[in-house]
Amino acid sequence: MKNKLIISVLSIIFASSVFTACQKGDLLSNPNVAAETSTVPASLILNHITATLQRGEDPIIADVWKYNQYFVSNYSYYFGSNFYNWSNTGHTYDIVKYANKMEEQAFKQYNNKTNAYYALSKFFKAHSFVWLSERVGDIPMYQAGNVAVLEPVYDSQKEVFKNSLNLLDTANTILGALISTANANTKLDAAGDIYGMTYLQWQKVINTYKLRVLISLSKRADDNADLNVKAQFAAIISNPTKYPIMTANSDNMVYTYNSAYNQYPVNRAGYSPYGYAANMNKTVLDLLTTNKDPRTFAFAVPAPAQLTAGKAVSDFTAYVGADVNIAQATLSNNSTAGMYSFINWNRYFSNAAGANCEPYIFLGYPEMCFNIAEAANRGWIPGTVAADWYLKGINASLGVYKLTQGQSFVIGNLDGTKPNMGTATIDITGFLAQPGVVYAGDNATGLTQILNQKYIAFFSNSGFQAFYNQRRTGVPAFSQGGAGIGTPNNKIPVRWLYPQDEITFNNANYKTALTSQYSGTDDVNSLMWLVK
């Protein structure tokens, strides 16, 4: 985080001085590197930011999927342990650095601070600050990026969120003033934006993301009046002209993989031949099978022992999840005995381009629907029917996995050697009629239903959002307390340690921040302001 590390994207690289008869000791600058005073197209910087943003969110199967309790590794050689042995987090100050540079270059090119790149820079900075603060708590924000301040002071987590919300509002205002009927559906930057979104879609992303940030503040909505959490949320919902939000899956901020350069993570990491080492986690699979959720068939394959016992591939009771509490050696033995279901090899392991599965959703419509449903359930937006948004969210999630009523869904085995072991008929109508799915009303049971469905919709997407939502609400109940968790108390951590750069280069401010938040100890078990 130390600002002396925040070097310019246009940094001057000098050639070594070579004392020859021809050069006579002259110091030559590299002609292939732009000078600090040069103008670099904002599009190039946008491309770097969006690519870096995606790398920070990539669903690395050996980490994020396990911590979100979607799958369990039964063999450490291929997928590592299941231990929640977190330590120092990375950070996102490189994105802040490039966002500042994009503002600078956009001003040079357009001679104003009201262009689209200026708007996107505000979104990227807000996302970066929130991303890091959600992991550790207080962070440097106001002084971050100021090259004159080598040891930036920390801002409280409340200030980080408050200022990030302001950045998002500014971004929405700038883009809103630029959008017209002529350009609304035109790609904002076909060359620099890897997500390929239009002007209007970017504005929807900004406001949809703001809804995510606001709902993440639910525990602070009643004791921090100056944040105006409920009022800000309601303002977005009540004024779609000023604050357009996503209206369908077509507005999702998605990253599409390809076989040449950006392979699907389990293929890129070399995991694809070893799907038999990845069992489905009991936490998510129990939620699915209890309600006869057709997404069961998209996510998992039946436990081999259940098929041997005579059950059909379409029988929900044939799908059995592994408990992360169990020691890995036991998990391995049980898995070898066929006791557990495996991740759907046909969908997630069979194609390097991810052609058989959903693209990675960075921010999506299903989550937005559940965020609105949660806010309505909590009474933040009177007149908004939580049940409607709850149902929209479920149907949108089913759509992400391309499941339709009456569809014949092919089910394979654990490693792709038998890609068609039978079929299951997708019954969405029956699923929605299940007692556990029919919305129970604007009460605690209804809220739990919303949160459970949001958790399922995060499967294989949205980074650590499933974990953050569970940390905030306790829903679903994550399995912990057993030897498989791997922490000293067998409990799941609630935060990461600060980045090592911060400890090394900004130590005095780092220690002050620890004292004000965590009694002086950088402890993964200490609750931050956001979720106390």
DSSP one-letter string for 377-415: HTTSSTT--HHHHHHHHHHHHHHHTT--TT-EEEE--SS
From 312, 316, 309, 304, select the one nearest 340 (Cα to Cα): 304
For residue 23, the model assigns a pLDDT of 43
For residue 34, the model assigns a pLDDT of 66
Assign 13 a pLDDT band (cuts: 50, 70, 90): very low
For residue 24, the model assigns a pLDDT of 40
Residue 413, pLDDT > 90, answer: yes
Q: Tell me how many domains the chain contains.
A: 1
Give a yes or no: residue 99 inside a domain: no
For residue 61, the model assigns a pLDDT of 59
For residue 522, the model assigns a pLDDT of 98
Is residue 341 within 8 A of residue 301, CB to CB? The reply is yes
For residue 147, the model assigns a pLDDT of 85
From 114, 414, 63, select the one nearest 265 (Cα to Cα): 63
Rounded-to-integer distance, Cα 278 and Cα 173, Å: 46
Kindly report which listed range (19-33, 132-146, 321-335, 362-376) carries the lowest average pLDDT score. Answer: 19-33
Residue 342, pLDDT > 60, answer: yes
Give a yes or no: residue 232 inside a domain: no
Mean pLDDT of the chain: 92
Give a yes or no: residue 383 inside a domain: yes
Is this prediction's pTM over 0.85? Answer: yes
For residue 29, the model assigns a pLDDT of 60
Assign 398 a pLDDT band (cuts: 50, 70, 90): very high
Assign 33 a pLDDT band (cuts: 50, 70, 90): low
Which residue range is the domain that position 275 belongs to?
A: 59-80+265-471
Give a yes or no: residue 408 inside a domain: yes
Give a yes or no: residue 280 inside a domain: yes
pLDDT tens profile 494-517: 999 999 999 999 999 999 999 999
Assign 62 a pLDDT band (cuts: 50, 70, 90): low
Select the more confidently predicted residue: 145 or 57.
Answer: 145
Residue 361's alpha-carbon distances to 59, 83, 454, 505, in angstroms, are 10, 26, 14, 35
pLDDT tens profile 103-139: 999 999 999 999 999 999 999 999 999 999 999 999 9
Assign 60 a pLDDT band (cuts: 50, 70, 90): low
Q: How many Cβ atoms sit within 10 Å of the Cβ of residue 332?
A: 17
Residue 22, pLDDT > 70, answer: no
Is residue 495 within 8 A of residue 467, CB to CB? The reply is no
Rounded-to-integer distance, Cα 477 and Cα 479, Å: 6
Joined together, the tokens standing for residue 68 give 């979100």
Give a yes or no: residue 271 inside a domain: yes
Select the more confidently predicted residue: 29 or 377.
Answer: 377
Q: Packing angle between helix 282-290 and helix 444-457, nearest 10 degrees? A: 120
pLDDT tens profile 235-257: 999 999 999 999 999 999 999 88
Give a yes or no: residue 209 inside a domain: no
Residue 20, pLDDT > 90, answer: no
Give a yes or no: residue 531 inside a domain: no
Go through the chain and tell me how many residues it has.
532
From 222, 273, 274, select the one nearest 80 (Cα to Cα): 274
For residue 9, the model assigns a pLDDT of 38
Backbone φ, ψ for residue 496 (5° rounding): -100, 165
Residue 265, pLDDT > 90, answer: no
For residue 221, the model assigns a pLDDT of 97
From 333, 295, 341, select the one nearest 317 (Cα to Cα): 341
